[in-house]
Amino acid sequence: MVNDKDFDLINRFRSGDESAFNDIVREYQKIIYWHALRMTGNHMDADEVTQQVLIVIYQKISSFNFKSSFATWIYSIVHTRSLNQIRKNKLKKIFSFDDINEDKLLSSNNIFESFEDKEKIEKLNKVLETLPIKQKEVFIMRIFDQLTYEEISKITGKSVGGLKANYFHALKKIMEAGID
Amino acid sequence: MINDNELNKTELEAAPILDKIKSLNEVKIKDAYFNNMIPLVHIRMSKKKSRLKIFSAAAYALSFIVTIFAMLPLLSSLDNKEQNSIAESMNETVLSSGLNIVDEAIYVNRSDKNIEIDFPDDWEDAIKEYYANEINQSPSYFVYQDLSSEEIEAVYKRLEK
């Protein structure tokens, strides 16, 4: 289940080699960040989720049981944390008078290499925002992370049939909405 | 339940729009952001650790205070019990050793109706109260108990010294 590189990294860390954690960060930080960015739709939240996930990995790696791949285990943490962040934002929106989205858009100004890249991401987020969360999660994992339904099922804890149904409806919705 | 064929067909139909969506994802993020991730996470973890230490110390102090408050009634009852047991043991000593303890500890000056008791200064109020009560309730307590008139006189003489 776990590839040799991951197996070596995990065992190094478990035997007390702290530098192995830095290697894990280098290896997985981009996957974590991108998944979080697509799920939450902004850099500020994606950055928060990424840091949280890396801390969880550091704290919980000793409980990793090698039954799934290391990547699947990490995905399940990112996924849960992203959903938590989305819920937090919904609550904040209810109780806050300020425009939170404006701050979040400003925070992503310095992250992308070019202005065109920033515009592309904003466009992508607009498309993804049209989907309900259940359709969005399976759509992101199928299209961008290229995971199988079985892997997504392990990460989300949902049935393969249910995931296929959500993916089908996501595709229909995106085709109807189109892209400008 | 969605049929696999139907799903594949829809996926094919959506292919052009999916390609567009995938192209939107082809963006670059500045290297500096990812280069800073390791120190950032380590700093955050150490902050979390120190926050945890503060919380655990506060929780420990709080539990200590709560325990002390919870034990207050128990401690006071223990104190009472201790005083009672001292009084009881004193009583036993008085009864067993008879006049000696009267001579050493409690000076009783008795006329027919009034009793004056002079307790040693270092005795607790509760013990004093206990003995005063005992002596008042029983006129023949201590000195008069089972003593002949000569013996009573002898006691008074010793007390007068």
Q: What is the pLDDT of residues A89-137, one digit of tens each?
A: 888 878 776 655 555 555 566 788 888 888 888 888 888 989 999 999 9
Give the residues across from B16 on adjacent strands: none
**Contact status, residue B107 vs residue B159, Cβ threshold 8 Å:** yes
* CB within 8 Å of A171: residues ≥ 6 apart: A139, B10, B11, B13, B14, B18
pLDDT, residue B100, reads: 40
Single-letter amino acid, residue B23:
S
Establish, for the pair of chains A and B, how many residue pairs have beta carbons separated by less than 8 Å: 90
Structural domains of chain A ordered from first start: 4-113 (1.10.1740.10), 130-180 (1.10.10.10)
pLDDT in tens, A18-53: 899 999 999 999 999 999 999 998 899 999 999 999
A45 contact partners, CB below 8 Å, separation of at least 6: A36, A82, A85, A86, A89, A104
Q: Give the residue with greater pLDDT, B88 vs B21.
A: B21
d(CA A113, CA B67): 59
Distance from CA of B62 to the nearest CA of A (A): 27
Amino acid of residue A172: K
Express each pLDDT in B23-78 by its tens digit: 888 888 888 889 889 998 988 888 877 777 788 888 888 888 888 888 887 777 77
- Contact (Cβ atoms closer than 8 angstroms) between residue B1 and residue A162: no
Q: Name the nearest CA neighbour of A162 among A153, A151, A171, A174.
A: A153
List Cα–Cα distances, A59 to A21, A73, A121, B71, in angstroms.
Answer: 11, 14, 32, 38
Cβ–Cβ gap A33/B29 under 8 Å: yes
Return d(Cα A54, Cα A60) in angstroms, integer.
10
Largest distance between two CA atoms of chain A: 53
Give the 3-state secondary structure of residue B96.
Answer: helix
Amino acid letter, A57: I
Q: Which of B7, B25, B38 sits opposite A22 (nearest CB)?
A: B38
Q: Which residues of A touch B1 (CB under 8 A)?
A: 161, 165
Interface of B with A (CB under 8 A): 1-2, 4, 6-7, 10-11, 13-14, 17-18, 20-30, 33-34, 37-38, 40-41, 44-45, 48
**Token output for A17:** 């080699």
Contact check, Cβ <8 Å, A143/B18: yes
Residue A58 contacts B, CB cutoff 8 Å: yes
- Looking at this protein, which amino acid is placed at residue A82? S
Chain-chain contact of B29 with A120 (C-beta, under 8 angstroms):
no
Tell me if ipTM is over 0.85: no
A100 CB near a chain B CB, below 8 Å? no
AA identity, residue A33 = Y
Which residues lie across from B116 on neighbouring strands? B109
| Mean of per-residue pLDDT scores for chain A | 88
The string of pLDDT tens digits covering residues B122-153 is: 666 776 676 667 666 554 444 444 455 676 66
